[in-house]
Structure 1
C-alpha cells in the first residue's frame, strides 16, 4: 500500500505542480509583452490560458499533500523534522499561490483588458517575485523529499 500511496503522491506532484510552476513563471513575461503591444489580443489569450492552467492545476494539486500525508503515515515518518519542514514550506507555497499569485494574475488580466488598458510595471514585477518564491519553495520541498535529512535509508 505504501508504494501505491507514494506513487500517487509523486505522480500528482509531477502532473499538478509542474504545470503550475511553468504557467505561473511564464505569466509575467507574457504580461510585459502584452503591456507594450498596441494590439495585445493574442497575448491576452495566452495570459488567460496561463491563468486557467495555474488555477485549475492549483485545485488538482491538493492531491499532493493529501497523498503525502497518507504516505508519511504509512512510512511512520510524520514526526520527522524534514517532513514537518516540508509540510510548513508546502503550506507557505500554497498560501503564496492562493493569496498572491492567482489574485495578481487576475488583476493584471483585468488591467490589460480594461478600456483603456492600464499597465503597472510594479504589479508585474511583484507577480514575478511571488511566482519565484512559490517556485523556490517547491524546489526546496522537492530536495527535502529526495534527501530526507536523518534518513536511515542511506539516501
Structure 2
C-alpha cells in the first residue's frame, strides 16, 4: 500500500504492507535507527517515538495507520545544524546509559514529558518512564539526566 509519513518534519512517500510496523519502516526504509527493536509487543519502550508529541511504541503500530500524523524520532530531536538536544547532551553528561539499549526510548519519553511540564518532579519523571524498561539499572542516572536537561531548557 502506498502512503505518506511525516517524520522529523520531512514528508516521505512509502510503499509497505498494511501491517508493517512503523519501526520497520523507520529502520529499513528511512534508515532512522534511533528507535530500537526490543520486545516487539510494545512493552519495553526501546522503540518509542513521538506521534503528535505523544510517546508511541513503534514496534507494533502499522506505519500506514500514521499517515497524516507528525512523527519524531531520536534523530529528529537534534537541531538542524546537528547540535544535540539538551536531553541527549544530559544523558551523555550523566553517563545515563550503561548498555544504552533503552536510552532512545527513555529520551523520547522524557522529551514528551518536558513538552508537557518544564520542571517535573522526580516522581513525575519516574511515572513518565515507568513503562520504559532498563535492564542495567541506570534509572537514577536517567532521572538525573532528565532533571539536568529540564534545568538547562528552563534557562
What is the TM-score normalised by the length of structure 1?
A: 0.24
Please identify which structure carries the higher strand content: 2
Structure of larger gyration radius: 1
Instruction: Give the structure, 1 or 2, with the largest relative contact order (CA under 8 Å, sep 6 or more).
Output: 1
Greater helix fraction, Structure 1 or Structure 2: 1
